[in-house]
Amino acid sequence: MQFPSPVPVSWIATLIRAELIGDTTGHATGINEIHKVETGDLVFVDHPKYYDKCINSAASYIIINKKADCPAGKALLVVDNPFEAYCTIVNHFRPFEPAVKSISDTATVGAGTVVYPNVFIGHHVSIGTHCIIYPNVTIMDHCIIGNNVVIQAGTVIGSNAFYYNTKKDREVWYKKMPDCGRVVIEDDVEIGAGCTIDRGVSHDTRIGRGTRMDNMIHVGHDTVVGNNCLFAAQVGIAGATTIGNGVTLWGQVGVSKTLHIGDNATILAQSGVGKDTEGGKAYFGSPIEDAREKMKELVWIKRIPELWQKVMGSE
């Protein structure tokens, strides 16, 4: 999430009651998770395993629960509970706004766009020109819809991220991280009925131009889908995955989190993607393998009884 304007890091330190170490005169431009940080961002870390990674990332300001060496030009904000500090910052800059009507007065809808009855459009939503938004679609706060987009009935855009801070030493183990990211749907996208696209935790979930999605598809938080992709029904994509341009996912494909699928890859139906995948090839199976090799393997598996009979008969 980017702040409306740069914020003095000293003010942030006061907000979260942090000890400020390093560059005390800088200005933070946003707050993000480690896999999305940019120069000027705040990031939080509360586990020694990730101290070095966060301190040496692109982030300029690190909310941390232990004093450490601070690189030049950066600042550490030392607090007892970095996660709670993160929540405080997010809730300050992106507070909960209850809806009082079906289409918020702060939403904008472009010329030629058709919005059917029973559509909900939240605060600060932008919808482009010549779109069709079918009945019972829900578009939550801060989402961006491009031009010539079609969203079929019952789809939810911008649902909360399925993302929790986990600590086994407290009564409630799974504490939800407040999400402040968006969903951005680029021009000429078509989304089927009953789909759910989660907003980013702190950055954007993005659907690239010209992509086509069938019914009952789920896209997890912070996932980036390239241009001109084709997803068949019941595809499920976990969070923070990057899918290249021209990728085809056939029915009931499952994709695990934080993976990369290369351009023009094809994943055949009911396959499970559990690793980074090279582009320009077809894959099948769970876990996936090269489709041609997997098909050969299945042929040989079918022949096992026949081969066993030949071996036993030769004794």
- Enzyme catalytic residues: 221
Is residue 21 helix, strand or coil? strand
Residues forming a β-bridge with 198:
159
* Whether 32 contacts 222, CB under 8 Å: no
Cα torsion at 44, 48, 50, 51 (round to 10°)?
70
Q: What's the chain's Rg over C-alpha atoms? A: 23
Side chain identity at 57, as an amino acid letter? S
Beta bridge partners of 296: none
Residue in the block written with tokens 């005169």: 25
Phi and psi angles of residue 306, each rounded to the nearest 5 degrees, phi first: -65, -45
Amino acid 267 reads: I
Strand partners, 212: 190, 230
- In order, the DSSP letters of 220-245 are -TT-EE-TT-EE-TT-EE-TT-EE-T
What does residue 301 show for φ and ψ, rounded to 5 degrees?
Answer: -60, -40
Structure tokens at 185: 């749907």
